[in-house]
Amino acid sequence: MTPCVYILASGKNGTLYIGVTSDLVQRIWQHKEDFVDGFTSRHKIHALVWYEVHETMESAITREKRLKKWNRAWKISLIEAMNPQWLDLYGSIL
């Protein structure tokens, strides 16, 4: 399992969700299928628009906490540096 931090979006410049997982494929599938009732299912946030792989879960969690404190403009810049079209990257991680 590879620790990752990820950002989901409801659409381009839409509502964002930042999370951390040790299994990115499974976790994004859970979000897409609204497997767990929560923020992402209520707000229809299903597109994986950014992710970052980490060596340890500790570093991934630290990064997630930092990103959650960023202002929205910084988060959008981070997404657009990796994914300027705001494409759903889920297919590329399968």
Q: Where are the alpha helices (DSSP H) in the chain?
A: 24-32, 39-42, 57-69, 72-82, 90-93
Confidence of residue 36 (pLDDT cuts 50, 70, 90): confident
Rounded distance between C-alpha atoms, residue 90 and residue 58, angstroms: 24
pLDDT tier for residue 1 given thresholds of 50, 70 and 90? confident
For residue 56, is pLDDT > 90? yes
Task: Please name the amino acid found at residue 63.
Answer: R
Domains of the chain (ranges plus CATH)?
4-93 (3.40.1440.10)
C-alpha–C-alpha distance, residues 28 and 72, integer Å: 22
pTM beyond cutoff 0.85: yes
Per-residue pLDDT, 15: 98
Mean pLDDT, the chain, whole residue set: 97
Percent of the chain's residues with pLDDT above 70: 100
Instruction: List phi, psi (to 5°) of 89.
Output: -85, 0
Angle at 37 (CA atoms; ends 36, 39), nearest 5 degrees? 110
